[in-house]
Amino acid sequence: MITLAVDAMGGDIGLAVTAPAASAFLQQHTDTRLIMTGDETLIRQALQQANAPISRIDIVHTDEVVAMDETPQHALKNKKRSSMRLAIEAVKSGEAMAAVSAGNTGALMATARFVLKTLPGIERPAIAKFLPTSNQQSVLILDLGANADCTAEQLLQFALLGSELSNALKPNCAPAKIGLLNIGSEDIKGTEIVKKTFQLLQQSSLNFVGNVEGDDILKGNVDVIIADGFVGNIVLKTIEGTVKFMSQGIKETFQETWLSKLRALVALPTLKIFKQRFDPRRYNGAIFLGLRGIVLKSHGGTDAVGFTYALEEAYQQAKTADLTQLSERITQQLNQQTA
């Protein structure tokens, strides 16, 4: 039985999203239990309305909730029994195999790092996410916003983490191809930190294939793309905005005239496939990689469908991720770098 901890109160909408998502997820996975943290009375009411299988849900009560605009420092110091923290504490104690929250990203990262600590040799955790590519594969990109400023050594650590995760999820494939996000493919381009990172990656035992540019991200030519959190977050938001822009543009185009509406009816099956494939909710749930436990961040403004996908991502990570093995491999890799 796989047990996931859920911050039931986190996010822009809270229980109106987490409760129906929990219900839908448990109905899809009969081998799973949930620990939901938050106001017990409100949680029970929301779960009953969502017709959730209560017998597979444990509720841990607390009145404390981390606000979306709360500083990480304030949350750490003053919200020691918040729904967010209790969900992470469940992972530390071993009661849950992974935690999911749609709450304040900064507070979630700070709390997860404080409670769980980082893996040996990893200075900072990174936010990582698998994105779809044009060749029907996926690419893991990190960091997506946890660390705006990074050293070359930290970017190398991100590459180690990304490589090990990708290899673990694709055990029968060749070693993950690692790309460094840059403004050109030549090794002489980029900031001084990016140039130094290129050298470290080249000297490492990783399957480093060189620099990749922005238009290479979704081609699927590499398995893992490394960037600092400042660049990575801009990339993620740009991709999300582009998908919304295209979807809105297509919708407006088909509504311009009666003839275009007729064409829309003919194209409806194809449009539905397009919408399903590129629906951002399907890719909701980013991993805090580098911690001694599994924590996933859901988009704060997602709906129940999106949060269900975040729970699905946590479920898959809990089933496949071996943190002990990951820690051992990273230690070996880091020892090779310093040898």
Of the given ranges (43-52, 266-275, 295-304), which has the lowest mean pLDDT? 266-275
Residue 167: what pLDDT?
Answer: 84
Q: How far is residue 290's CA from residue 161's CA, in Å, rounded to a whole number?
A: 7
pLDDT band at 58 (very low <50, low <70, confident <90, very high): very high
In angstroms, rounded to a whole number, what is the distance separating the alpha carbons of residues 173 and 77?
A: 45
The token duo for 181 is 């996000």
Residue 274, SS3 per DSSP = helix
Q: What's the whole-number average pLDDT of the chain?
A: 88
The band of 279, judged by pLDDT with boundaries at 50, 70 and 90, is: confident
Q: How far apart are CA 263 and CA 60, in angstroms?
A: 53
The pLDDT-based confidence of 339 (bands split at 50, 70, 90) is low
Does the pLDDT value for residue 283 go beyond 70?
yes
pLDDT at 284: 84
Pick from 165, 172, 170, 177: nearest CA to 321: 165
Band of pLDDT at residue 3, cut at 50, 70 and 90: very high
Of the ranges 23-32, 153-162, 293-302, 324-333, which one carries the lowest mean pLDDT score?
Answer: 324-333
Beta 2-7 vs 98-101: how paired, if at all? parallel
> The whole model's pTM is what?
0.86
Specify the 3-state DSSP secondary structure of 2. strand
pLDDT at 200 exceeding the cut of 80: yes
Q: With contact defined as beta carbons under 8 Å apart, do 11 and 301 qualify?
A: yes
What's phi and psi for 218, nearest 5 deg? -100, 10
For residue 338, pLDDT over 60 is answered with: no
Q: Comparing 39-43, 62-66, 134-138, which segment has the lowest mean pLDDT?
A: 134-138
- 8 Å CB contact between 115 and 94: no
Q: Which residues, at least 6 apart from 225, have a Cβ–Cβ distance to it below 8 Å?
A: 139, 140, 141, 142, 178, 179, 180, 181, 212, 217
Give the tens place of pLDDT for each residue, 130-186: 888 887 788 999 999 888 899 999 999 999 999 988 887 776 678 899 999 999 888
* Contact assessment for residue 117 and residue 292, using Cβ atoms and an 8 Å cutoff: yes
Q: With a cut of 80, say whether residue 124 has pLDDT above it.
A: yes
Let me know the angle formed at the C-alpha of 39 by 36 and 43, rounded to the nearest 5 degrees.
Answer: 60
**Interval 223-240 mean pLDDT:** 91
Dist. CA 87–CA 328, nearest whole Å: 26
| pLDDT tens digits along 10-24 | 999 999 999 999 999
| 8 Å CB contact between 67 and 104 | yes
According to the model, what pLDDT value does residue 169 have? Answer: 76
Distances (CA, A) of 119 to 23, 99, 161, 227, 251: 33, 17, 10, 20, 46
Yes or no: say if 284 and 299 are a contact pair by the CB < 8 Å rule: yes
Start-to-end CA distance of the chain, whole Å, equals 42
- Do 52 and 22 contact (CB within 8 A), yes or no? yes
pLDDT score for 337: 63
